[in-house]
């Protein structure tokens, strides 16, 4: 299956909204990269990312604080589709997620504070929630 950027982001949003990485894992390229503007070291493989994200999802589950991942769009710099991340409340925006796809697989995800999540057009679409 060949994945588009929007499908990649929808899978990421579904993972965050359901706290289950099984929808994202098969879409990642083996040399997948993940970076966060808040973390110094970049993750440089699919296996490393899956080892990283499992305890993060569990920590969110145990915290009782809801993570909201909403499909969005960035007109600035022609970035296009994104995921708008919020914590606790749907309007407590904390970050954006951008994706890069190569050869039909997700090559890269970036968790960003810049551009700001407030700069994205929000859709009200929260994949995996039925909302």
Model pLDDT, residue 39: 85
pLDDT for the residue 95: 97
pLDDT of residue 76: 76
Structure tokens at 8: 């990649």
Neighbouring C-beta atoms of residue 124, cutoff 10 Å: 9
pLDDT band at 2 (very low <50, low <70, confident <90, very high): confident
Global pTM reads: 0.95
For residues 29 and 79, which has the higher predicted lDDT (pLDDT)? 29
Q: How far apart are CA 100 and CA 111, in angstroms?
A: 12
Closest CA to 71 of 2, 117, 123, 131: 123
Fold of 5-122: Nuclear Transport Factor 2; Chain: A, (3.10.450)
pLDDT at 1: 67
Residues 25-52, mean pLDDT to the nearest whole number: 95
The answer to whether residue 40 scores a pLDDT higher than 90 is no
**What are the domain boundaries of the chain?**
5-122
Q: Which helix (H) or strand (E) holds 103?
A: none
What backbone phi and psi angles, to 5 degrees, belong to 67?
A: -95, 135
Q: What angle do CA 15, 110, 82 make, to 5 degrees?
A: 65
Q: Give the tens place of pLDDT for each residue, 42-63.
A: 999 999 999 999 999 999 999 9
pLDDT 10s digits, 73-116: 998 767 899 999 999 999 999 999 999 999 999 999 999 999 99
């Amino acid at each position: 299956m060949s994945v588009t950027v929007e499908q990649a982001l929808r899978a990421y949003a579904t993972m965050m909204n359901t706290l289950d990485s099984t929808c994202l894992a098969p879409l990642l390229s083996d040399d997948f990269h993940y970076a966060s503007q808040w973390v110094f070291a970049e993750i440089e493989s699919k296996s490393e990312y899956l080892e990283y994200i499992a305890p993060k999802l569990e920590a969110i589950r145990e915290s009782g604080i809801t993570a909201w991942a909403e499909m969005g769009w960035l007109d600035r710099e022609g970035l296009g589709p994104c995921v708008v991340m919020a914590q606790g409340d749907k309007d407590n925006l904390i970050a954006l997620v951008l994706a890069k796809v190569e050869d039909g697989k997700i090559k890269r995800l970036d968790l960003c504070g810049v551009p700001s999540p407030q700069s994205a057009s929000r859709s009200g679409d929260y994949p995996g929630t039925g909302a």
